[in-house]
Amino acid sequence: MYLFEWGAVVIISASVRHNIHGLSQVAEVSRRLDGISRRLLEHDSIDAAIVLTTCNRVDIYADSAKGVPAAEAECAIARELNALPSFLHGKAAITHIFSVAAGLDSMVIGEREISGQLRRAHRQAINMHTTNSDLSRVVDSALRISRKVAHSTGLAGTGRSIVSLALDCVAERWQDAPNEARVLLIGTGAYAGATVSQLRGRQIEQISVYSHSGRAQSFAQAHELVAVDEADFVSALAQADIVVACRGLGNPIITAELLAQVMPMRDTELIILDLALQTDVQSDVGTMAGVRLVILEDIQRVAPDAAQSHVHRAQKLIKQGVDDVIAQMDSRRIDPVVVAFREHITDLCTGEVDRLPAKETFTKEEVARALGHFASRIAHTPSVLARQAAETGNDWEYVRALHSVLGIDVSQAAREANIRPAQLSSGGKCPLSAFLNRDVDVKGSGHHEL
């Protein structure tokens, strides 16, 4: 007897985010992410993992191993994070991934930077070979729907983002004469690039960049900025109207000691926007005279609500996208069965070829005879099963199964034979199940197992 076990894809999301766990716990968890994708794949319960980290969330998207309870994968993730994230699995997890990609789960609803961050996280997982086809299909679909949300709703129309809100918090410093505002950018990562775009969108062009890692020169060339080297860092701080820090390495680069050198060189307030989850600015800097420090918690408090009509439209698009990707994965799950069926037919065909006499050419009659024998072998088992279905009162179910499997319309023949729907008789079996399980007598069929 042969039984088919259908392994279900179980997508899992594990989320530590600002509005549930608080920014301090998000920062704490983000310090433990080095190499976490590979560590997760060392657990037997996890087949794939993608790690998304932003200034206000740490998300892990995983595909649990086939046949393993989702709870085992969730325990593995919690142990690696040393935290208790919010878990979702199945359709709820996929919906969460779509909502994240579209910006509906962000600190600033509708912001577009998150889709780029998810795209980079996915690309990194591909390069590290920590994702698989199912998880990648979900993320690709989520990114595609996020673009549709951006184009079909008003959520992205106002350029909403963490950076834009931070700049709005200090608008009095630059909005009257943006071309005169001098901004020092600290950091050269992806978020620094988004910051440059936001600054230029506000006609702020006097932008310099500093990086302790030495990447300032290449970043400046790529974005047409002014690079600041180590020797000029203090003077650059003294001349800047606004400092935007977005390194996020967890070791503050702007300290009270450093600003004690800078402030005597200034005659105006120094504005510092610390947009890093793992802060770039020492906490006591905010208490210094002449310094205004804006941190993520400040931005969180002023983040406006999105228009509900836009959110509802986005949610409808997300629901359709989730249903579509689940249908795609369901359709792909039967691929091994299709392959096995094709191999069965190929084996029958190979057997017929082997029966042919060893010669180069064949007459039309010989070919017709060989094809007729091949057709008889294919039809033999279904024919035996048809008679058994009729004997057990399952002939209607057999007709339906024949149509489902082979696409053959035998409705007219069924009417002529007076075959009608009926309940399965006691002890009866669906002929398709019987075919799969091989629990019928098909002696002499010469068949190959499916």
Residues 272-320 pLDDT 10s = 998 876 678 888 898 899 999 988 888 877 766 656 777 888 899 999 9
Domain ranges of the chain: 10-153+324-328, 158-303, 363-423+430-437
Choose, from 55, 75, 169, 246, the residue flagged as catalytic: 55
Q: Count CB neighbours of 60 within 10 A.
A: 25
Q: Do domains 10-153+324-328 and 158-303 have the same CATH topology?
A: no
Residue predicted with more confidence, 88 or 69:
88
The sign of the dihedral angle between the CA atoms of 263, 266, 271, 277 is negative
Give the architecture-level CATH label for domain 158-303: 3-Layer(aba) Sandwich (3.40)
- Where residue 72 falls among pLDDT bands split at 50, 70, 90? very high
Residue the block writes with tokens 């600190």 = 107
Distance CA 326, CA 146 (A): 17
Q: How large is the average pLDDT for residues 322-340? A: 83
**Residue 144 — φ and ψ, nearest 5°?**
-65, -45
What is the value of pTM for the model shown? 0.62
Distances in Å between the Cα of 438 and the Cα atoms of 382, 395, 398, 442 are 11, 18, 15, 9
Q: Write down the pLDDT at residue 155.
A: 67
Q: How large is the average pLDDT for residues 149-158? A: 71
pLDDT(446) > 50: no
113 is in an annotated binding site: yes
How does pLDDT run across 336-374, given as a tens digit for each residue? 777 887 888 888 888 888 888 888 888 888 888 888 888
349 is catalytic: no
Separation of CA 405 from chain center: 33
CATH code of domain 10-153+324-328: 3.30.460.30
394 is in an annotated binding site: no
Distance CA 398, CA 393 (A): 10
56 is in an annotated binding site: yes
Sheet holding 46-53, edge to edge: 46-53, 57-64, 11-17, 86-89
152 is in an annotated binding site: no
